[in-house]
């Protein structure tokens, strides 16, 4: 029961944050100088659509441009909540359609990256803590430092160049052009898998480096604690007691530190996606910003923020489930 | 007969710590015995090596290393175990831990793992050494909790450490340590972190169990008052060495070593005419990296003999009343 | 201030140094010295920042000067001429275009040698905006070009451009961190000191900001910078945008430390003596955790360097003709060009090394901030 109340509270705050973010997103639309509708319509005109005065006035009114700021905002938000995110003139499409098309790839990439990060970091972190100052520990540390210092776009460029040089394969995008038209088949899936390693490496490097360090540091702290000695004095094997006590206790800071990972992934994959040409929401946001396609831009910011907030929520819930100290407090 | 009586025999034990700054000989030639069913008090200031000595009995002295000496366990069924020869992670020492020899620690706050229930951890203590069913283990655990005076053991079994008070936690610790009925219980300052009332209760509990189970206790403390109440034998340590050893009456009525005498004097007493300052031992504990020559205590000793105490290391000798002292004043 | 008489064990000396009346900073320095990586990082950073300060002097060529030496490889420096050891020199290189495949090559003319001279006269610059000078650290005769790192597609000297970029890329972080510091201290200070409703509201606001994903936020805000703003304005705006994210972290730290400290007795004593709240915060509480703040700030700088580099690379940050590492790396987007002219990637090395150096120093500071910890 307590848990449900906790979740409810977090959901409520998530909603508030989302409203705050919507305000911020709308602000972005308004920031460029000039009436956004005028420049917007001017672009649509350039793209081939034409409007007569009556339509322009009607549009103006429906977007509330003759109204004060907050009315405009309200109109945009209420439309957005109903699923009408406006139209993109860059793609000549409804914004929600553009975003939904790219949602699966975004989620696939993010969650598989999350999985990989945990899969690699936890064993490596434990190893580093238990064998402090060994060769493996140093190697991991060096990898970590370089991983954190290299900007993701750089890593993407280097890896692209390497695979190009070594394998003669150009690995932009998640699927070779040939397979994009084809229907699902084993070959198509294999092609997809071939394209996954480089994006995943680029996206996971920074997170992995960070998490390994955190795991190592936290575990080192826990290994010094009294209850570890108590467990040893009971006659447990070293391996069993390390896993059962300090690792388990270190998992909580890891999970809460991991709480950062999922949201950061949604944000961090954007640059890699841009450089590698992945079919996710990131490159769309980028193009929208460069091309001043404001509805698309605002829509992307909202969706990415929404995903980020969900990410935080998931990690909060997982942490509450994992730590009895939070549950029974 | 007397040989069979001896449970633990420690001979010339030497333990060092290898730190970045240098090597510290934390235990410097310690020898004493623990008889079956007796209570031995191990006394000394912080850093004198009493805790390390005790831990070495279970081979959890890490990061220290045993350089020299013997630790011999006589389990009574004519089995002699040379503890000092066992490796730290070996199955043999694990069979002893929690089974023949158990240990309880000073910090009740952090002695239980935070992520598992008390019940889980106590049952684990049984399951490591006894092959019994889960239900039987649970029942034994509940009985153990009851026997340490916890009134609602079924509830405590399901609780986590942070939900219990310090006193309850220490009782649960004792239950867990005694559940396999060890021959020796090592108690490393178990009541230092508790208030006086709880301390009295815990001591009473320990003494009761000791008598009923005929269990030996190695009780480590810097609190002489507690030692005087519960111990049969007392070992006084200073800077890694034993300076005096005697049975409790002899030690408290006629302390021999100047250090022991000073310790006795520094206990605050409530007297009719409570005037005057608290007696302190002059000086400080020497730097562990640069130990004094000769007798380690000579710089602070009120009966220091120049030319002798700072040059020659005093040897342990046995006196008429059975006390053993390492001091040049006695031959 | 904090004075102490504790013994501090230093790894690098055998005798424990006993310090009487040593200040907090001295203790930190002793612990810091033990951290070899951190010392190394400090050396690297010093080199970087000295280079930045003296950039116009060190750089031989004007970073914006187009020449006909397009995509020239780094000039080789020789010390043997006709078998004899001489002072370092270079040969003249003439650009030639192969008429059959239009391949661009450079022909080396070994007839004449051009020694590298020091303290030469080069292009004019205003150092720190005040001193006019034409003095440069090194250079060669005007007929030849000494391109230590080759040239780019407009024939501009890469070495000059890279070093010139130091000035922007390394200072954006410092300025941003300064803003972060001010904002973080003020807001965190108020939040932690007064507590209650003010604290609650401020906490919520900070939570909101944290929930906005970093990169989209930076990208979106940067995109709204009007194209016609001059470089200085853009520079400062980017700095502020970068700082908008990091002040929340610092603020939270300040707040939690204050919450701890304000219950301490010396604060109550100061209050009873009639000291104003501001004075209490500034003079009594802040010095207590200055060291932790400095650690956080040091670790924020590399994030800002990465942020500016990424934004500029994406054309959302600083733009040409401003020279920063991120702007320079835009040239590296063309994979074929990079394959053929790998020196274009050099700014990447500068980014990685500077970020690493900052991280090392920050780590060392963090270990040193608790001088009594073994």
For C277-297, the pLDDT digits (tens) are 666 666 666 666 777 788 888
3-state helix, strand, coil in chain B (%, to 5): 35, 25, 40
Per-residue pLDDT, C123: 81
If you measure CA to CA, which chain C residue comes closest to A310?
A: C211
Fold exhibited by the domain C161-368 = MetI-like fold (1.10.3720)
Query: In chain C, what residues touch B21 (CB-CB under 8 Å)?
Result: 9, 11, 16
Phi, psi of C247 (to 5 degrees): -70, -25
Burial of A192 (C-beta count, 10 Å sphere; 0-12/13-18/19+): middle
C16/B20 CB distance under 8 A = no
If you measure CA to CA, which chain B residue comes closest to C17?
A: B21
Per-residue pLDDT, C134: 82
Per-residue pLDDT, B57: 92
Q: Are B195 and B165 in contact (CB under 8 A)?
A: no
Query: In chain A, what residues touch C350 (CB-CB under 8 Å)?
Result: none
Question: What confidence tens digit (pLDDT) does each residue in C73-93 have?
Answer: 887 777 777 777 777 777 777
- The residues pairing with B27 across neighbouring beta strands, listed in sequence order, are B15
Contacts of A146 (CB under 8 A, 6+ apart): C352, C356
Fold exhibited by the domain B1-100+184-292 = Rossmann fold (3.40.50)
Tell me the C-alpha distance between A311 and B3, whole Å.
68
User: Among all chains, which residue has been given the structure tokens 């070994």?
Assistant: C110
Choose between A217 and A30: higher pLDDT: A217
Contacts of B159 (CB under 8 A, 6+ apart): B117, B118
Q: Are A135 and A254 in contact (CB under 8 A)?
A: no
**Beta-carbon neighbour count of residue C132 at 10 Å?**
8
Q: What is the mean pLDDT of chain C?
A: 78
Q: Is C241 on the interface with A (CB under 8 A)?
A: no
> Pairing relation of β-strands B241-247 and B324-326?
antiparallel
A301/C216 CB distance under 8 A = yes
The alpha-carbon gap from A135 to the nearest alpha carbon of chain B, in Å, equals 19
Model confidence, pTM: 0.77
Tell me the C-alpha distance between C163 and C168, whole Å.
10
Chains that touch B (3 or more CB pairs under 8 A): A, C
ipTM of the complex: 0.84
Q: Are C51 and C163 in contact (CB under 8 A)?
A: yes
Query: In chain C, what residues touch A16 (CB-CB under 8 Å)?
Result: 204, 208
Q: Is C348 on the interface with A (CB under 8 A)?
A: yes
C309/A151 CB distance under 8 A = yes
**Beta-carbon neighbour count of residue B125 at 10 Å?**
29
Q: Is B279 on the interface with A (CB under 8 A)?
A: no
Choose between C106 and A144: higher pLDDT: A144
Domain boundaries of chain C, sorted by first residue = 75-146, 161-368
If you measure CA to CA, which chain A residue comes closest to C338?
A: A161
Per-residue pLDDT, B97: 92
C-facing residues of A in 63-122 (CB < 8 A) are none
SS (H, E, C) chain C: CCEECCEECCCCCCCCEECCCEEHHHHHHHHHHCCHHHHHHHHHHHHHHHHHHCHHHHCCCCCCCCCCCCCCCCCCCEEEECCEEEEEEEEEEEEEECCCCCCEEEEEEEEEEEECEEEEEEEEEEECCCEEEEEEEEECCCCCCCCCCCECCCCCEHHHHHHHHHHHHHHHHHHHHHHHHHHHHHHHHHHHHHCHHHHHHHHHHHHHHHHCCHHHHHHHHHHCCCCCCCHHHHHHHHHHHHHHHHHHHHHHHHHHHHHHHCCCHHHHHHHHCCCCHHHHHHHHHHHHHHHHHHHHHHHHHHHHHHHHHHHHHCCCCCCCCCCCHHHHHHHHHCHHHHHHCHHHHHHHHHHHHHHHHHHHHHHHHHHHCCCCCC
The conformational region for residue B244 under phi > 0 = left, psi -120 to 50 = alpha, else beta, is beta
First to last CA, chain B: 29
| CB contact burial B185-196 (16+ within 10 A = b; e otherwise) | bbbbbbbeebee
Burial of A11 (C-beta count, 10 Å sphere; 0-12/13-18/19+): middle
Phi, psi of B14 (to 5 degrees): -130, 125
Contacts of C187 (CB under 8 A, 6+ apart): C202, C206, C247, C251
For B107, the closest of A226, A248, A328 (CB atoms) is A226
The rounded percent of chain C whose pLDDT value lies above 70 is 84
C16/B21 CB distance under 8 A = yes
Per-residue pLDDT, C286: 63
Average pLDDT over residues C206-229: 80
Among B105, B109, B115, pick the best mutation site for testing chain A contact (most A Cβ within 10 A). B115
- In this structure, what token pair is assigned to residue B188? 């490393």
**pLDDT band at A51; cut points 50, 70, 90:** low
pLDDT along chain B (331 residues), means of 10: 71 88 86 92 88 92 88 82 83 89 86 89 92 92 91 91 87 92 92 85 90 92 89 92 91 89 78 67 77 84 84 86 85 69
Nearest-CA neighbor of B220 among B326, B208, B82, B206? B206
Tell me the C-alpha distance between A272 and A281, whole Å.
12
For C208, the closest of A20, A268, A301 (CB atoms) is A20
User: Among all chains, which residue has been given the structure tokens 């391109």?
Assistant: C147
**pLDDT band at A34; cut points 50, 70, 90:** low
Nearest-CA neighbor of C72 among C354, C344, C363? C344
A20/C313 CB distance under 8 A = no
Query: In chain B, what residues touch A230 (CB-CB under 8 Å)?
Result: 103, 105, 111-112, 173
User: With 80 as the cut, is the pLDDT of residue C315 above it?
Assistant: yes
B-facing residues of A in 227-256 (CB < 8 A) are 227, 229-238, 244-245, 248-249, 252
A31/C224 CB distance under 8 A = yes
Q: Are C64 and C156 in contact (CB under 8 A)?
A: yes
Domain boundaries of chain B, sorted by first residue = 1-100+184-292, 111-181
The alpha-carbon gap from B55 to the nearest alpha carbon of chain C, in Å, equals 22
CA B275 → CA B225, B265, B282, B318, distances in Å?
A: 21, 14, 20, 37
Tell me the C-alpha distance between C267 and C273, whole Å.
10
Indicate the range of A232-241, A299-308, B32-41, C16-25 predicted with least confidence.
C16-25
Tell me the C-alpha distance between B179 and B161, whole Å.
18
Tell me the C-alpha distance between B127 and B124, whole Å.
5
The alpha-carbon gap from B169 to the nearest alpha carbon of chain C, in Å, equals 28
Question: What confidence tens digit (pLDDT) does each residue in A64-92 have?
Answer: 666 677 777 777 788 777 777 777 777 77
Average pLDDT over residues C156-166: 88
Indicate the range of A220-229, A285-294, B267-276, C320-329 predicted with least confidence.
B267-276
A226/B105 CB distance under 8 A = yes
């Amino acid at each position: 029961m307590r848990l449900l109340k906790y979740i409810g509270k977090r959901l409520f705050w998530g909603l508030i944050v989302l409203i705050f973010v919507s305000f911020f997103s709308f602000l972005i639309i308004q920031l460029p100088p000039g009436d956004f509708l005028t420049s917007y319509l001017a672009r649509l005109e350039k793209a081939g659509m034409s409007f007569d005065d009556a339509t322009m006035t009607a549009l103006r009114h429906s977007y509330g441009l003759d109204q004060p700021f907050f009315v405009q905002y309200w109109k945009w938000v209420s439309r957005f909540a109903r699923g009408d995110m406006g139209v993109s003139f860059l793609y000549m499409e409804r914004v929600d359609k553009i975003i939904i098309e790219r949602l699966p790839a975004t989620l696939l990439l993010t969650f598989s990256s999350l999985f990989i990060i945990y899969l690699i970091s936890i064993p490596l972190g434990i190893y580093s803590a238990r064998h402090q100052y060994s060769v493996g520990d140093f190697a991991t540390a060096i990898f970590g430092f370089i991983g954190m210092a290299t900007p993701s776009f750089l890593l993407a460029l280097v890896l692209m160049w390497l695979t190009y040089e070594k394998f003669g394969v150009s690995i932009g995008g998640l699927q070779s052009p040939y397979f994009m038209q084809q229907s699902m088949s084993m070959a198509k899936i294999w092609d997809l898998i071939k394209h996954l390693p480089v994006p995943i490496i680029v996206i996971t490097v920074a997170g992995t480096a960070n998490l390994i360090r955190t795991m190592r540091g936290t575990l080192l702290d826990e290994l010094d604690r009294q209850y570890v000695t108590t467990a040893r004095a009971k006659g447990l094997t070293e391996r069993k007691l390390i896993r059962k006590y300090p690792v388990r206790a270190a998992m909580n800071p890891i999970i809460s530190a991991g709480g950062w990972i999922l949201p950061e992934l949604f944000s961090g994959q954007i640059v890699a996606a841009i450089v590698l040409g992945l079919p996710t929401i990131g490159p769309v946001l980028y193009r929208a910003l460069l091309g001043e396609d404001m509805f698309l831009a605002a829509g992307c910011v909202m969706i990415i923020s929404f995903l980020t907030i969900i990410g935080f929520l998931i990690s909060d819930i997982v942490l509450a489930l994992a730590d009895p100290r939070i549950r029974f407090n | 007969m007397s040989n069979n009586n001896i449970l633990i025999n420690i001979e010339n034990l030497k333990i060092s710590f290898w730190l970045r700054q240098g090597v510290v000989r934390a235990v410097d030639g310690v020898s004493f015995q623990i008889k079956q069913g007796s209570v031995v008090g191990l006394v000394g200031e912080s850093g004198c090596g009493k805790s390390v000595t005790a831990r070495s009995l279970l081979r959890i002295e890490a990061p220290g290393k045993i350089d020299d000496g013997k630790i011999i366990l006589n389990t009574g069924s004519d089995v002699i175990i040379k503890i000092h020869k066992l490796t730290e992670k070996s199955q043999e020492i694990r069979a002893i831990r929690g089974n023949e020899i158990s240990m309880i620690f000073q910090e009740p706050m952090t002695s239980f793992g935070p992520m598992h229930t008390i019940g889980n951890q106590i049952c684990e203590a049984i399951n490591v050494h006894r092959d019994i069913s889960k239900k039987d283990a649970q029942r034994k655990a509940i009985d153990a909790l009851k026997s340490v005076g916890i009134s609602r053991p079924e509830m405590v079994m399901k609780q986590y450490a942070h939900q219990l008070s310090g006193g309850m936690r220490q009782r649960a610790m004792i239950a867990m340590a005694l559940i396999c009925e060890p021959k020796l219980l090592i108690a490393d300052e178990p009541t230092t972190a508790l208030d006086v009332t709880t301390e009295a209760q815990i001591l009473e509990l320990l003494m009761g169990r000791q008598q009923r189970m005929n269990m030996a206790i190695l009780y480590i403390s810097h609190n002489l008052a507690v030692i005087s109440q519960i111990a049969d034998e007392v070992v006084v340590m200073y800077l890694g060495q034993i300076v005096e050893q005697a049975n409790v009456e002899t030690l408290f009525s006629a302390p021999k070593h100047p250090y022991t005498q000073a310790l006795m004097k520094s206990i605050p007493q409530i007297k009719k005419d409570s005037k005057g300052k608290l007696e302190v031992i002059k000086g400080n504990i020497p730097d562990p990296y640069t130990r004094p020559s000769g007798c380690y205590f000579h710089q602070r000793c009120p009966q220091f003999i120049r030319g002798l105490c700072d040059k020659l290391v005093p040897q342990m000798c046995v006196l008429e009343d059975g006390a053993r002292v390492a001091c040049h004043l006695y031959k | 201030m904090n004075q102490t008489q504790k013994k501090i064990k230093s790894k690098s000396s055998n005798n424990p140094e006993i310090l009487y009346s040593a200040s907090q900073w001295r203790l930190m320095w002793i612990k810091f010295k033990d951290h070899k990586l951190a010392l190394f990082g400090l050396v690297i950073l010093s080199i970087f920042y000295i280079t930045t300060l003296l950039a116009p002097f060190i750089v031989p060529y004007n970073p914006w000067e187009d020449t006909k030496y397009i995509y020239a490889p780094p000039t080789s420096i020789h010390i043997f001429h006709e078998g004899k050891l001489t002072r370092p020199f270079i040969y003249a290189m003439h650009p030639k275009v192969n008429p059959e495949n239009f391949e661009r090559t450079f022909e080396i003319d070994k007839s004449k040698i051009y020694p590298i001279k020091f303290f030469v006269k080069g292009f004019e610059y205003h150092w720190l905006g005040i001193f006019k000078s034409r003095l440069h650290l090194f250079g060669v005769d005007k007929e030849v070009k000494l391109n230590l790192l080759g040239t780019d597609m407009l024939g501009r000297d890469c070495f000059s451009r890279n070093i010139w970029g130091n000035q922007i890329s390394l200072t954006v972080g410092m300025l941003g961190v300064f803003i972060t510091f001010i904002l973080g201290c003020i807001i965190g200070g108020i939040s932690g000191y007064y507590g209650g409703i003010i604290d609650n509201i401020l906490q919520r606001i900070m939570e909101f900001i944290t929930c906005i994903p970093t990169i989209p936020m930076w990208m979106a805000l940067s995109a709204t910078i009007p194209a016609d703003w001059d470089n200085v304005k853009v520079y400062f705006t980017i700095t502020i945008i970068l700082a908008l994210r990091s002040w929340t972290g610092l603020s939270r730290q300040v707040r939690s430390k204050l919450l701890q400290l304000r219950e301490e007795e010396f604060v109550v004593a100061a209050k009873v003596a009639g000291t104003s709240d501001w004075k209490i915060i500034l003079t009594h509480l802040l010095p207590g955790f200055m060291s932790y703040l400095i650690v956080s700030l040091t670790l924020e700088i590399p994030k800002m360097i990465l942020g500016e580099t990424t934004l500029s690379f994406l054309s959302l940050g600083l733009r040409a003709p401003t020279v920063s590492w991120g702007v320079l790396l835009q040239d590296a987007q063309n994979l074929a060009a990079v394959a053929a002219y790998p020196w274009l990637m050099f700014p990447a090395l500068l980014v990685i090394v500077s970020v690493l150096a900052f991280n090392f120093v920050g780590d060392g500071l963090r270990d040193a901030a608790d001088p009594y910890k073994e």
